[in-house]
Amino acid sequence: MKEVYTLADLRRWPEATAGVEWPLRLAVIGDPVAHSASPPMHNAALAALGLGVRYTRLHLRPDEVAEAFALLSQQGFIGINCTIPHKLTALSLVPQVDPSARRAGGVNTVTVQPDGSLAGASTDGLGFSRAVREAFQLGPGEVRVAILGAGGGAGRAVMMQCAEEGSPRLWLLNRTTDKLAPLVADVNREFPATEIRTAGLTDPEIEAALADADLVVNCTAVGMKADDPSPVPVGFLQKRHRVYDTIYTAARTPLMRAAGTVGAPAENGLPMLLHQGARSFEIWFQREAPVEVMRAALLSVAPR
């Protein structure tokens, strides 16, 4: 089995996957996608439950997604996950989309229906919620939340989940603040009880937001590189903060290290990846996902 397949492979799937022990009927699509930890996680779950299919990676360019979606049913797929930058494209291509995806502004889970049509959902928000509850023993709807990078894909899903669960106040911080106006309008329409405040990513604005927040969530890309600074200056963090970084490419991200210096509990994005993946599994197979099996598989390939 190849580590990564392409659209050319998908066009001739039986030939491209000849000799593979188990049929490849699930995949994650992205650009890039070779780094994805989803295949080990899902393949462990599929093997544990004795399901005779496996999960792989599909590297698709943005202009290849529509054709790939048209081939999914033809090639016998059960479903796919979508990662950057294809979530928004999937939202526009899938004819049946549930409220979770519309609120999140993107589809990360596509299911091939018995009649061959496609249905879309977003499990990012629920994955975030389950991860926060697991890490800090509180729900994101119980506290005031500051979301850095709220204008991006993960940021919108996190924002909507917090509002749906009843967060009394959301601070939305983004480098380009004019991107936040439509998000605020969406939250106000869907969840009018949640108070929204917006700010940029300058130090004074971050400091003011964190002084008024209990849970700090990083949805920016700052921290993906080993030499990145913390997206939040250490002096703005307090021991009372709970800090969640959606980045999972490092065991301890720069933000987590900053939190550690003041004694604030912090977690990286691996549990969010786990729980959004488990929810995708439940959607595809209509059965409980073996979460601990999936967790062990993720930890076995996670950065240390």
| Domain extents in the chain | 5-122+271-301, 125-268
pLDDT at 152 over 80: no
Q: Determine the average pLDDT of the residues in 262-270.
A: 97
What confidence category does residue 153 fall into, taking pLDDT thresholds of 50, 70 and 90?
confident
Q: Determine the average pLDDT of the residues in 243-257.
A: 95
Q: Determine the average pLDDT of the residues in 250-266.
A: 96
Percent of all residues in the chain with a pLDDT value above 90, rounded to a whole number:
94
DSSP notation for the chain: --S-EEHHHHHTHHHHTTT-SS-EEEEEEESS-TT--HHHHHHHHHHHTT-S-EEEEEE--GGGHHHHHHHHTTTT--EEEE-TTSHHHHHHH-SEE-HHHHHHTS--EEEE-TTS-EEEE--HHHHHHHHHHHHHSS-GGGS-EEEETTTSHHHHHHHHHHHHTT-SEEEEE-SSGGGHHHHHHHHHHH-TTSEEEEE-SSHHHHHHHHHT-SEEEE-SSTTSSTTPPPSS-GGG--TT-EEEE---SSSS-HHHHHHHHTT--EE-SHHHHHHHHHHHHHHHHSS---HHHHHHHHHHHS--
Beta carbons within 8 Å of 137's beta carbon, 6+ residues apart: none
Q: Are strands 118-121 and 109-112 parallel, antiparallel or unpaired?
A: antiparallel
Lowest-confidence segment of 26-30, 174-178, 261-265 by average pLDDT: 174-178
Catalytic residue set = 87
Q: What is the pTM of this model?
A: 0.95
| CATH class entry, domain 125-268 | alpha beta
pLDDT digits (tens, 9 = 90+) for 208-237: 999 999 999 999 999 988 789 999 999 999
- Residue 264 tokens read as 């604030």
pLDDT digits (tens, 9 = 90+) for 65-76: 999 999 999 999
Cα distance between residue 175 and residue 66, in whole Å: 31
**CATH number assigned to the domain with residue range 5-122+271-301, chosen from the 4 options 3.40.605.10, 3.20.20.70, 3.40.50.10860, 3.30.565.10:** 3.40.50.10860
Q: Determine the average pLDDT of the residues in 36-56.
A: 97
Cα distance between residue 205 and residue 298, in whole Å: 36
What confidence category does residue 262 fall into, taking pLDDT thresholds of 50, 70 and 90?
very high
Q: Determine the average pLDDT of the residues in 36-52.
A: 97
pLDDT digits (tens, 9 = 90+) for 176-204: 999 899 999 999 999 999 999 999 999 99
pLDDT at 10 over 80: yes
Q: Determine the average pLDDT of the residues in 117-146.
A: 97
Mean pLDDT taken over the chain: 96
Lowest-confidence segment of 21-25, 46-50, 248-252, 291-295 by average pLDDT: 248-252
pLDDT at 55 over 90: yes
Comparing 5-122+271-301 with 125-268, is the CATH topology the same?
yes
Calculate the alpha carbon distances from 269 to 70, 114, 248, 258 in Å.
32, 33, 4, 16
Identify the residue with better confidence: 158 or 249.
158
What confidence category does residue 304 fall into, taking pLDDT thresholds of 50, 70 and 90?
confident
